[in-house]
Amino acid sequence: MKRKSGSPSFDQTLELLRANGFEVTQYTGVAGGALVSKHGVGAVLVAAPKGEESAAAFALRPGTMVKGEVARLLDRGFQKFMKTTQYELPATASQLQAIHAFSEELKQLAGAVDLYNESLGTTSDVYRYDRLMGREDAQPAPARPWELAGGH
Alpha-carbon dihedral angle through residues 89, 44, 59, 27, given to the nearest 10 degrees: -110
Please tell me which of 56-60, 118-122, 125-129 the model is most confident about, judged by mean pLDDT: 56-60
82, part of any domain: yes
Domain hosting 88: range is: 10-129
- Phi then psi for residue 136, to 5 deg, are -65, -25
70, part of any domain: yes
134, part of any domain: no
The Cα–Cα gap between 83 and 98 comes to: 16
pLDDT score at 142 = 76
Q: Total domain count for the chain?
A: 1
Lowest-pLDDT range of 66-70, 73-77, 83-87? 73-77
Total-model pTM: 0.70
Helix (H) or strand (E) holding 101: helix 93-110
